[in-house]
Amino acid sequence: MVVKVKIVNTGFARGALLISQQPISFFGGVDPLTGVIVEKNHPLEGVSLCRRILAVPSSKGSTVGSYVIYGLAKRGVAPSGVILGQRDSIISAGAILGGIPAVIADMRRILSSFKNGETIILDAKRGRILRST
């Protein structure tokens, strides 16, 4: 199974897929020191983004979110890769600053091709996602 994607920030990542159905606010919604989602009533409240490959429709909230992603990467608790459902300047800039591979994909394709939690490879050099063997 290979899904084609658009490259936002080049690189490779391998990790467990974490699917967020809801947008994420990195500023205020994620603990900047640990990478755990802390937004009240978010479907992923309490879940850590650390070393996961995060699939998220988009960001929401403050543009300061980019700086938060940078800080997570610096502390080694950021997602190891990001799959976006649409163009998103906050997460894209954060991923670029933090050196995190990032792509834009058709979210329905991702949901129908991979299971939440399974290990995948994000190839943000050639623009594709595949199941890890």
Partner 1 sequence: MKTRVTKRVFKRILDSIQAGKKRYIKISSAHLSGISYLNIGDAGLEFLEDLSRSGLKFKVRTTINPGCVDYNSNIKCDSEVMEKQERIIRSLKNMGAIESLTCTPYLFDNPLRKNQKTAWAESSAVLYANSIIGASTNKEGSLTALASAILGYTARTGVHLRNGKKPRILFEYNGELKDEVDCGLLGYVMGMKAGAEIPYLRIKKSTGNILCYKQLLAGFGTSGAAPMVWIENLTPGFLRVKKPRRKIVIDRTELEEQKRILSEEALPFQGERRIFITGCPHMSLEEIKSFHETLRSIDRLSVEAWIFTSRNVYSEAFRKGLLTELFEKGVRVFKDSCVMHCSLKKEGAHVITNSVKAAYYLRGSFRLKTTLKSLKEFIKEYGG
Q: Using CB under 8 A as the criterion, which residues of the chain lie in contact with partner 1 when the complex forms?
A: 8-9, 27, 32, 63-64, 66-68, 70-71, 73-74, 87, 89, 92-93, 96-99
> Rounded to whole angstroms, how far apart are CA atoms 77 and 108?
27
Closest contact distance (angstroms) between CB of 89 and partner 1 is 6
| Residues in CB range of 41: below 8 A, 6 or more apart | none
Q: For residues 86 and 116, which CB has a smaller minimum distance to partner 1 in the complex?
A: 86
Q: For residues 63 and 119, which CB has a smaller minimum distance to partner 1 in the complex?
A: 63
Q: For residues 74 and 126, which CB has a smaller minimum distance to partner 1 in the complex?
A: 74
Closest contact distance (angstroms) between CB of 116 and partner 1 is 27
Q: Helices 89-98 and 65-74, interaxial angle, to 10°?
A: 30
> Rounded to whole angstroms, how far apart are CA atoms 117 and 115?
6
Closest contact distance (angstroms) between CB of 63 and partner 1 is 6
Q: Which residues are catalytic?
A: 62
Q: Are strands 119-123 and 12-19 parallel, antiparallel or unpaired?
A: antiparallel
